[in-house]
């Protein structure tokens, strides 16, 4: 397996006051706790505010993000980005492919359609050991990676908005 490489982006665009919604699929509670802890640590370190919404599974994450975005807009408190967290472990049926592909597709559609900085931290793995390796902050920290991606995209969006 190739070693993970985290790009160090030099963008220091001000993200003061940034706020994101984390939507987490609560299918594997303990794995989800680890993913959420990684995301929260990165957001706290960057000074980004967040709300957490829990849903039953990965397929419910994209519509919950859309619902949260719409509710925030109606309340005059838009989110600057979103983070999707969850875990899909391969089973004995084709269901794994449906859930992993369709949740990812819906997140990409949502992000592009709404110009939404979105970090996809829905991990798709063959077994529980792989899930733990990706979830733990002391290992691959995919929750933290999703938060870092969202933060980077918020910076890009703010920087480009000033240039145009």
Give the catalytic positions in this structure: 95
Q: How many CB atoms lie within 10 A of CB 19?
A: 17
Under DSSP, is residue 94 helix (H, G, I), strand (E, B) or coil? coil
> Is 130 buried (19+), middle (13-18) or exposed (0-12) by CB count in 10 A?
middle
> Which residues in 62-87 are b (16+ Cβ under 10 Å) and which e?
bebbbebbeebeeeeeebbbbbbbbb
Alpha carbon of 117 to those of 18, 153, 155: distances in Å? Answer: 11, 5, 9
Contact by Cβ (8 Å): 148, 9: no
Q: How many CB atoms lie within 10 A of CB 51?
A: 13
Partners of 25 in beta bridges: 55
């Amino acid at each position: 397996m190739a070693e993970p490489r985290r790009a160090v982006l030099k963008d220091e665009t001000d993200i003061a006051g940034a706020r994101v919604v984390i939507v987490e699929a609560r299918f594997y509670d303990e794995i989800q706790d680890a993913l959420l802890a990684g995301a929260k640590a990165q957001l706290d370190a960057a000074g980004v505010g967040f709300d957490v919404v829990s849903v039953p599974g990965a397929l419910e994450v994209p519509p919950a993000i859309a619902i949260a975005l719409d509710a925030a807009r109606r309340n005059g408190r838009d989110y600057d980005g979103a983070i999707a967290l969850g875990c899909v472990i391969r089973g004995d049926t084709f269901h794994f492919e449906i859930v992993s592909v369709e949740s990812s597709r819906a997140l990409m559609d949502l992000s592009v359609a709404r110009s939404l900085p979105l970090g996809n931290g829905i991990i798709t793995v063959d077994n529980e050991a792989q899930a733990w390796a990706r979830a733990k902050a002391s290992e691959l920290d995919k929750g933290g990676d999703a938060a870092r991606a969202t933060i980077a995209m918020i910076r890009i969006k703010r920087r480009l908005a000033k240039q145009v």
